[in-house]
Structure 1
């Protein structure tokens, strides 16, 4: 799996609590919504916002790009961006950042992982996660945003050879990467102050989400990546992407604690017994692919863990859980509530 696609390719009380508030000192669009004060209330507000499948851009007028700018690209190049009027992000989390910065009207296409409502009508330029250079160039982008896992390489080279600036970013695999990517994207698009405002908003939201962790609760959570139809059964360890979220939500990543030093390891009964998770975390489609909780506990070893015996399974929508974008604090709010329940 490409790292960005695992996440398939994820955010006080400053969002009025997550019911649509905007950063930069602004107030919520719905000022009548009460501030959530408990983990369950925060989670309910987060679930309501995620159910809308929409983004909350920074309040105020959209920023005006100040260009040209020259930025470092993660493929070792220096890239000069002279025009941000036609932006093409080739990653769902990157697209979320661009829209939240207030530049959604400049976006001309999307990749398969950009599943939020604002992007639905945009032409898709990827096929099974592979970029089609012809589709990209047909949209006449003035700047393309990719990451080091975007491919195939030949397609990226073809886009660059056509004269389109391609800014490559490092994949986001942990919480701190969200603000780092936001800073780099904002700088590449000539709106650094908007990037600072968005980072402040996200940091405030994350601090509020973490503050709701119940004292003294440290459940062990195992992230399982499954695709039943393809017989893919993996447990996450160090660097899975989920480990950072689990820890931010005040829990222990069971795979990491059990000594799994690779992002993903095939599930075995022995690994599960060693991990002994209290809670299992999954992507929604992955859980559905094995027949829901009833099917999951029939997989060897899972039914013998505390999580399996107590049917403690938390699932979240694929594109959001490991998206590592501006909605990550919503993920933390939900995890704080659901993994600490007794």
Structure 2
């Protein structure tokens, strides 16, 4: 008998990494509490039945200390290839499609300086910070300018070439960051943001704390032999159902959870491919990892079972679906260690340290 565990965090806004995934669609298609529901023994087996929602009790990034005093000016290397001199960090706008940059600013202790964010930065502490971009990172240049930022932090996907030209014409100081989200990139990106804001010591401390939490969460993952095969699915109604491969950030999460990326095992080499019966049955995952809004958009676990090939997989037969809020799951920022612990609990039924 299957059961449903659905525990939500307090915020309602969610990140939708649509733009980058849409690129993958066109490229390829033309291509709880932390909760787990299963056997009462809590053996850690992913063959337990039923969906589970992984949540954080508090999604607010924890500041590394009291507010630091930026030492400026600083000249940093921007990801767009330019050198940028930052002279003032008193009014910071931070926008990306995962909310990572705003989370990092907050965790560095500079939350009081944050005057603009994307809706993806949905943690409660930032609820009164004006939104200047949609969940997909789509930037409203007029809204950015209205906040009179002394520095604007974004990435080279959220800011299209046209947006970059508009920001430059307005004379806004912009530092661009790597749009890719990987486990290995969490610490370096924290330090890059801290360097741009003139608080490198806070950045080093935050990166070290975050890495310690990631290491602890990874070490606590139950060892399974064989490793469970986990497929990350991107779902946006029945019209968009895709499975990720090793080039997407979910691969790092799956590996850290002691799993095998089912997409990679099935031979997927692109970030995403449209789901077909053949690809799904070939992947034959033991569990699915999805974003909560995506799962809801197709009718939950019952709706997922109707996607071609799903019912024939081990995960489909056992309804093993692990979902997590869109704005949390792929953020790869200061909360990453806690995110991994929450996912491990939902997947294996373990209790976070």
The alignment's TM-score, normalised by the length of structure 1, stands at 0.84
- 1:326 matched to 2:343? The reply is no
- 1:163 matched to 2:171? The reply is yes
Q: Which residue of 1 aligns with 2:19?
A: 2
Q: How far does residue 120 in structure 1 lie from its aligned partner after superposition? A: 1.2
- SS of equivalent to 1:167: strand
- 1:54 matched to 2:60? The reply is yes
Q: Which residue of 1 aligns with 2:255?
A: 247
Structure 1 residues 277 and 341, CA gap change in structure 2 (3 angstroms): farther
Q: Distance in 2 between matches of 1:124 and 1:204?
A: 31
Any residues of structure 2 matched to 1:19-98 within 5 Å, and which? 50-59=56-65, 61-91=66-96, 92-98=99-105
Structure 1 residues 5 and 103, CA gap change in structure 2 (3 angstroms): farther
- SS of equivalent to 1:63: coil
Conserved? CA contact 2:224–2:258, under 8 Å: no
Question: Mean alpha-carbon deviation: is it higher for 327-336 or for 96-105?
Answer: 327-336
Structure 2 gaps of 5+ residues are 1-17, 24-33, 35-42, 45-52
Structure 1 residues 192 and 77, CA gap change in structure 2 (3 angstroms): same
- 1:222 matched to 2:239? The reply is no
What is the number of residues matched between the two proteins? 304
Q: Distance in 2 between matches of 1:4 and 1:267?
A: 14
Q: Distance in 2 between matches of 1:184 and 1:4?
A: 25
Conserved? CA contact 1:3–1:171, under 8 Å: no
Q: How far does residue 303 in structure 1 lie from its aligned partner after superposition? A: 0.5
4+ long deviations beyond 4 Å: none
Q: Distance in 2 between matches of 1:209 and 1:5?
A: 32
Q: Distance in 2 between matches of 1:165 and 1:158?
A: 12
Per-residue CA shift, 1:235-293, capped at 9, x if unaligned? 01011211110101111110012110001000001001110100011100111111111
Q: Which residue of 2 aligns with 1:233?
A: 241
Per-residue CA shift, 1:129-152, capped at 9, x if unaligned? 321111111110000001010133
- SS of equivalent to 1:282: strand
Q: How far does residue 47 in structure 1 lie from its aligned partner after superposition? A: 6.2
Q: Distance in 1 between matches of 2:325 and 2:231?
A: 17
Compute the RMSD of aligned alpha carbons: 2.3
- 1:201 matched to 2:218? The reply is no
Q: How far does residue 161 in structure 1 lie from its aligned partner after superposition? A: 2.3
Q: Distance in 1 between matches of 2:152 and 2:215?
A: 32
- SS of equivalent to 1:80: strand
